[in-house]
Amino acid sequence: MASIDTISRNLMLDSLREYAKRRIPYDLIRELDEKNEFPADILKEMYEHDVLGLHLLMVPAEYGGVSGGTFDIYRVCEMLARIDLGIATGVFATFLGTDPLNVGGTSEQKEKWLRRIASENLLVAYGATEADAGSDLINLRTRAEQVVKNGKIAGYNITGNKQWISNGGVADLYTILAMAPGGPSWFLVERNMEGFSPNKHEDKHGIRLSNTAGLSLDNVFVPAENLIGMEEGKGLLQAQAVFGYTRVMVAAFGLGAGMEALEQAIRYSQQRIQAGTPLSDKQGYTHKLIVPNYVKLEGAKTYIEDVANRLDSGEHGLQTEGAIAKYGASEWGNKAADDAIQALGGYGYTKDFPVEKIKRDIKITCIYEGTSEVLQMTIYRGRWQEHLKSRGRYYLDMADKLDQVHAGEPGAGAHAAALALRALAAVLEECRVHKLTRHQHVTFKLGALICAAETAAVFATACAAQKYGETVRFDRPTWQAMSRVFAREAALGVAMEGLALVLGASENGGDLAEAVNMTAVQAEQKGMIADMDLVAAKLKQTFKAK
Amino acid sequence: MNIVVCVKQVPDTTEVKINPETGTLIRNGVPSIINPYDHFALQTALELKKKHGFRVTVVSMGPPQAKSVVQMGLALGADEGVLLSDMAFAGSDTWATSYALAKAVKKIGKTDMIFCGMQAIDGDTAQTGPAIAQHLGMAQVTFCEHVEVDGRRIIARKQIDGGYETVECRPPALFTMIMHKDYVPKYPSFLAVHASLAKPYHVWSAEDIGAEAQYLGLKGSPTQVSKIYPPPQKEKAEMFAGSGQAAAERILEIMRKEHFTQ
Amino acid sequence: MIEVSKKCIGCGKCVPVCPFAAINMIDKKAVMNEACTLCGVCVQICPVQAIAITREEASRRDHSGFKGVWVYVELTETGDKTHPKKIKPVTFELLGAGRKLADELKEDLCAVLLTDKDHGYEKELGSYGADKVYMVEHDELFEYNTDIFSTVVVSLVNRHKPSVMLYGATIQGRDLAPRVASALYVGLTADCTALAIKDGLLLQSRPAFGGNIMADILSPNSRPQMATVRPNVMKMNEPVHGRTAMTVRESAKLDKSLRRVKVLERKLSHDGGGVRIENAKIIVSGGRGMKTKDKFKLLDELSKLLGGVVGASRAAVDLGFKEKTHQVGQSGTTVSPKLYLSFGISGAVQHIVGMKSSDVIVAVNKDPNAPIFNVAKYGIVGDAHEIAPKLIEALKKK
């Protein structure tokens, strides 16, 4: 689905921001967090058509929605995450729950259910996960048995248990994945159906404003027309088809929450005077706790936007890209939030400041919609295939393109990004020659290195462009400095860690230091501190103390 | 009745930052917003529409991205939107701006009431509203808090120096609005924003409104900016930082030193 | 037209300073997009003078016959039956400023007085520096009305052709002046904080962008050059008793049909009890940093303890912490108390222009770089909403 025009999208975001400012102050969030309470009234109000109608973003205009595209949903998710990741998760669950319908529903089903979701403001939950089936849905235990009447399938009796379902205890409508005779399939289950009952609300580490509960299905009869797509066995495909897209949403969560924590730390650092000067003027503080994190998240943001725009322009799947987006944004966001606590010192460790809550909340982004480890594997698998298929040219070709970018715009970090990509190609090739991917550790580690190198490439390319995207808040010199910092770190990380990885796993990897071009990577580090100084100064200017 | 509301897109001046080294404005990251007084004017007009079924047209002048404030007006309930956008308008002072807006009102057609914000937060002149009224030969009531309509009578409560007046007039008239204290700004829902795309919206050039080039832009503006500079700074203050208690004691000490208390 | 010459070195300094984000660097050269308003900030920042704004010359009008500095006299109700109206202090401030301009131009300083009944105002106007008083006495001038007053002023200007005309930036002045300027097609500069003569022209200085920058404005091609001036900014001269002004009586044809807006009710708050903020000796002022309306109330208590009046920044008023009548600054009231104690006001220049002439400024703000500290004598870095109650406690203890 194409995205909404920029002006309309920004008007929607303004409305969401103003609503949150007025209706969801931190004091309220803190209270709900302590009570482990789901703010049903706020969620319902945000769905009201004349207040916000947030859920309409997921519904095509023909069914009464506003036809949001991936970029729109990313922007809204990012802002929701800045407000509260628990509330964001409640909204996200509706988005996610609606997805199987959007992807696999017949036109009659869409007409009926999407219209109902839009007009009745239904809270939706996505019921896939079970005790033994998380990212490995193939172990699904919930069964759907056919109920045959007069020689026709009249419906299904569904039995089983679901676990950790967001909105589980509060949704009106559930999309439930169950094993039908023809294979895994999605069913629409309404809350009031007989035999269906949610379990108790979990007591969680974070996102405590989100309702999370298990579901019990005891011989719940659903009519045949509630089988999404009217065909059994399509469930996993339907789930897979949207991973690129749903992972962009969770990536936006990691990004938004991580950025929020950092921005609060930046504002704080200008007020806290230590030995006569504010913390924001001390390199030992900014260059450790602020700048590296901000730069990482800025890279993640650029990557997310690239994937979102590609999806909106009609590309399909992008599972690997979705995984890279989510892995980077959630891991770096998590680290940023952790460092934000450190940046606030003792205050950061108290509940008087929101960073403590953000840190607890953001951890979930490394877990749900595919844990970081599952994503590392997904990324590795996707790109390993490309490496083999291209006979090792995949990243070398990408690096050639970056070198062209560098020729046109030498300040954007494209050369360092190209070094990262070439080093990555060398490491992958070494792993192939010595069959090192028999070690799972190597494959997972490769996933992480791929994420860093590809993000550097996308960031540098965006920084070299004539015109910047609508979300870039910095001037050209600053944004390019950010990209250079990112790309240098990526190059150094891929070269050093890749080298260490290979040396640790194989008998002979002696020439690799030359293959990853360690000399060039190290030479490229020149100017790092000056760039970090610039970024620290600009961050201080952009996020002034309030 | 037909109402026209004039709105302006402005940088959020509360977010504008100054580069302390050069004394210049830092614009990056400063959001553009609807001028808050215009937002109130818009809401006043839309309440009258709701109550009496009047027709509301939103007009703005600015670069293409100023469409945003017009669309916001449409999303909040206005019937039609107009953006005056033309390089010929660039550099217009309040005289030239009000001339163009008055021309646009004429093109829109019979207009009974015009609403403007008292002033824009980026210029703070409070001149454009009265100047439009003069160009159109309309009555004006400035600094209003509240406007209501009873048949052909319009009753407004307005601020005057040292108090308030309740005044009465008949259409056509122009009103400039201040914000009253219980005012809560409304923002449009996602659905309303989406629906606003289907409402009539026009971009008009100087030629479209029949404005004469000699009265527009820098050339048509009687005032000229000769210099822009940072506000003067005094000597640095004697600074103190400490806990709440220590700070309170420090303030007491200052007041003693300056002979405000014993 | 704005043009970037070949001299542009692509340094990019103009990009971040543009208030409208209207400059892009394309192929290492500054390029202006359609958001440009020709404000001129980039012209000044450019280190190599590569940016130029050219204006087509408007057809020059003949200004030779325009002479005299005019001051619009504003009257205010007193509530006293024998002298129901008196001249507002801002008028005397304008005469003080106008006197200097008139001397420099070697022209007369004239007061323009519209009233239903003369109460010997011309003497007072003369003692404050007016050489001439143009007086229009007419029953229809019993109270201010936009249509009637603007009609009279426009006809007086057309008849006598002054070179400069000043109004107080009061609600009345800001209602009248743009109407007159619009009718005459002349330049009007709002809310000036300084006036001077430069090359025979009136140089008008005023804050812009919420007071974040200052601008000097000229109106070279139209006469009179009109400006509104904020009350409490200009110094009034000591009145010279016995100094008289020549009175020129002017007639006006006015009838009721001109009065399109009628006053039904007028409520003047003569402020029973409380001291008005513009006259206060001590002002305790609060801003956004007071966080909530409830915490802002602490300042009421504090100002009572100190015998002062509460002020507020625009942010605080916009957030509903305090009524608009307490607002200090460009869009509020200009004040100059003995002590100005501010809590949680960062000090946008829009605020600072309204309080900078206070004798002693003590500012509390948590941002050590807040601009308020540039005008304060004493700065306290800390959380305003935490320090205020501690100060109350300490004052009560004494």
Asked if the Cβ–Cβ distance from A56 to B191 is below 8 Å, we say yes
Asked if the Cβ–Cβ distance from B189 to A541 is below 8 Å, we say no
Residues A214 and A139 in one domain: yes
In the prediction, which pLDDT does B230 show?
Answer: 77
> Which residue of the set A260, A331, A356, A369 is catalytic?
A369
- Which of B28, B71, B188 has its CB closest to that of A542? B28
pLDDT band of C271, cuts 50, 70, 90: very low
The H or E element spanning position C23 is strand C23-26
User: Is the pLDDT at C63 greater than 90, yes or no?
Assistant: no
Q: How far apart are CA C276 and CA C268, in angstroms?
A: 13
Q: Is residue A48 part of a domain?
A: yes
- Give percent of chain C above pLDDT 90: 49
Of A366, A395, A421, which residue constitutes the final position of a domain? A366
- Which of C26, C366, C369 has its CB closest to that of A466? C26
Of A108, A123, A138, which residue constitutes the final position of a domain? A123
The first and second tokens of residue B227, run together, are 């210099």
The neighbour count for residue A37, using CB atoms within 10 Å, is 14
Residues A66 and A22 in one domain: yes
**Cα angle at A99 between A97 and A102, to 5 degrees?**
130
Contact predicate B59/B107, CB 8 Å: no
pLDDT band of B17, cuts 50, 70, 90: low
Contact predicate B119/B126, CB 8 Å: yes
In the prediction, which pLDDT does C149 show?
Answer: 96
Scanning B150-189 for CB atoms below 8 A from A yields 184-185, 187-189
Q: Is residue A65 part of a domain?
A: yes
Residues C365-383 have a mean pLDDT of 87
Interface check B98 vs A, CB under 8 A: no
Interface check C17 vs A, CB under 8 A: no
Contact predicate B189/A15, CB 8 Å: yes
Interface check A44 vs B, CB under 8 A: no
In the prediction, which pLDDT does B32 show?
Answer: 87
Residues A48 and A137 in one domain: no
Residues A95 and A130 in one domain: no
**Cα angle at C167 between C280 and C238, to 5 degrees?**
55
Q: Is residue A356 part of a domain?
A: yes
Residue with tokens 């729950």: A97
Q: Please report the domains of chain C, with CATH numbers, ordered by start residue.
A: 2-53 (3.30.70.20), 69-255 (3.40.50.620), 277-397 (3.40.50.1220)
Q: Is residue A544 part of a domain?
A: no
Characterize the bridge pairing of strands B25-26 and B17-18: antiparallel
Scanning B6-65 for CB atoms below 8 A from A yields 17, 19, 26, 28-29, 33, 65
CA-based nearest residue in chain B for residue C215: B228
Tell me the pLDDT tens digit for each residue of C34-59: 777 777 778 877 888 898 877 666 55
Of A75, A105, A123, which residue constitutes the final position of a domain? A123
CA-based nearest residue in chain B for residue C202: B223
Residues A329 and A406 in one domain: no
- Give percent of chain B above pLDDT 90: 66
Dihedral Cα A336, A338, A344, A347, nearest 10 deg:
150
Contact predicate A177/A186, CB 8 Å: yes
- Name the interface residues of A facing C (CB cutoff 8 Å): 270-271, 273, 278, 466-467, 475-477, 544-546
CB pairs under 8 A between A and B: 66
Asked if the Cβ–Cβ distance from C260 to B170 is below 8 Å, we say yes
Tell me whether residue A454 is one of the annotated catalytic residues.
no
CA-based nearest residue in chain A for residue C18: A475
Provide the shortest C-alpha distance from residue C24 to chain A (in Å): 8
Q: How far apart are CA B93 and CA C298, in angstroms?
A: 43
Long-range contact pairs involving C18-22 (C-beta distance under 8 Å, separation at least 24): C18/B25, C18/B27, C18/C42, C19/B11, C19/B16, C19/B25, C19/B27, C19/B122, C19/C209, C20/B11, C20/B27, C20/B63, C21/B27, C21/B28, C22/B63
Residues A45 and A92 in one domain: yes
**Cα angle at C371 between C365 and C372, to 5 degrees?**
55
Question: Which residues in chain B have Cβ-Cβ distances shorter than 8 Å to A280?
Answer: none
Interface check C232 vs B, CB under 8 A: no
Q: How far apart are CA A422 and CA A400, in angstroms?
A: 9
Residue with tokens 């420090």: B250
Instruction: Mark the ranges of chain A whose per-residue pLDDT is less than 50.
Output: none
Identify the sign of the CA torsion B232, B237, B243, B247: negative
Instruction: Tell me what ipTM this predicted complex has.
Output: 0.92
- Give percent of chain B above pLDDT 70: 91
User: Is the pLDDT at B200 greater than 90, yes or no?
Assistant: yes
CATH number at residue A140: 2.40.110.10
Residues A432 and A348 in one domain: no
- Which of C26, C29, C31, C367 to probe the A interface (max A CBs under 10 A)? C367
Higher-confidence position of C347 and B165: B165
Phi and psi angles of residue A277, each rounded to the nearest 5 degrees, phi first? -130, 155
Interface check C48 vs A, CB under 8 A: no
Choose among C29, C93, C116: nearest CA to C231.
Answer: C93
> What's the number of CA atoms in the CB half-sphere (13 Å) around residue B247?
26
- Which of A11, A19, A541 has its CB closest to that of B193? A11
Asked if the Cβ–Cβ distance from A53 to B189 is below 8 Å, we say yes
Scanning C244-273 for CB atoms below 8 A from B yields 260-270
Asked if the Cβ–Cβ distance from B28 to C16 is below 8 Å, we say yes
Asked if the Cβ–Cβ distance from C366 to A273 is below 8 Å, we say no
Asked if the Cβ–Cβ distance from B167 to C211 is below 8 Å, we say no
Tell me the pLDDT tens digit for each residue of B25-61: 566 667 889 999 999 999 999 999 999 999 999 999 9
Residues A359 and A381 in one domain: no
Q: Is residue A537 part of a domain?
A: no
Q: Is residue A496 part of a domain?
A: yes
Interface check C13 vs A, CB under 8 A: no
- Which of C174, C267, C349 has its CB closest to that of B126? C174
Asked if the Cβ–Cβ distance from B193 to A52 is below 8 Å, we say no
CATH number at residue A43: 1.10.540.10
In the prediction, which pLDDT does B241 show?
Answer: 83
In the prediction, which pLDDT does A12 show?
Answer: 97
Please measure the distance between the N-terminal and C-terminal CA atoms of chain A and give it in whole angstroms. Answer: 39
Question: Which residues in chain A have Cβ-Cβ distances shorter than 8 Å to C288?
Answer: 546
Residue A246 structural domain: 242-366
Asked if the Cβ–Cβ distance from B29 to A51 is below 8 Å, we say no
CATH number at residue A347: 1.20.140.10
Question: Which residues in chain B have Cβ-Cβ distances shorter than 8 Å to C375?
Answer: 233-234, 237
Asked if the Cβ–Cβ distance from B188 to A11 is below 8 Å, we say yes
The neighbour count for residue A203, using CB atoms within 10 Å, is 8
In the prediction, which pLDDT does A265 show?
Answer: 96
Residues C373-397 have a mean pLDDT of 89
Residues A382 and A394 in one domain: yes
Which are the contacts of A43, defined by CB distance < 8 A and separation ≥ 6? A87, A90, A91, A123, A170
pLDDT band of C273, cuts 50, 70, 90: very low
In the prediction, which pLDDT does C246 show?
Answer: 94
Q: Which range has the worst mean pLDDT, A540-544, C182-186, C300-304?
A: A540-544
Provide the shortest C-alpha distance from residue B248 to chain C (in Å): 5
Scanning B230-249 for CB atoms below 8 A from C yields 230-234, 236-245, 247-249
**Cα angle at A235 between A231 and A238, to 5 degrees?**
105
In the prediction, which pLDDT does A110 show?
Answer: 96
Question: Which residues in chain B have Cβ-Cβ distances shorter than 8 Å to C214?
Answer: 228-232
Residues A362 and A481 in one domain: no
Q: Is residue A1 part of a domain?
A: no
Residues A418 and A495 in one domain: yes
Question: Which residues in chain B have Cβ-Cβ distances shorter than 8 Å to A67?
Answer: 194
Q: Please report the domains of chain B, with CATH numbers, ordered by start residue.
A: 2-220 (3.40.50.620)
Question: Which residues in chain B have Cβ-Cβ distances shorter than 8 Å to A545?
Answer: none
Asked if the Cβ–Cβ distance from B166 to C264 is below 8 Å, we say yes
Question: Which residues in chain C have Cβ-Cβ distances shorter than 8 Å to B65?
Answer: 35
Q: Is residue A541 part of a domain?
A: no
How many independent structural domains does chain A possess? 4
The neighbour count for residue B156, using CB atoms within 10 Å, is 24
Question: Which residues in chain A have Cβ-Cβ distances shorter than 8 Å to C26?
Answer: 466
Identify the DSSP state of B202: E
In the prediction, which pLDDT does B233 show?
Answer: 62
Residues A93 and A133 in one domain: no
Q: Does residue A203 sit in helix, strand or coil?
A: coil
The first and second tokens of residue C60, run together, are 């020059």
Q: How far apart are CA C70 and CA C226, in angstroms?
A: 9
Q: Which range has the worst mean pLDDT, A249-263, A362-376, C202-216, C294-308?
A: C202-216
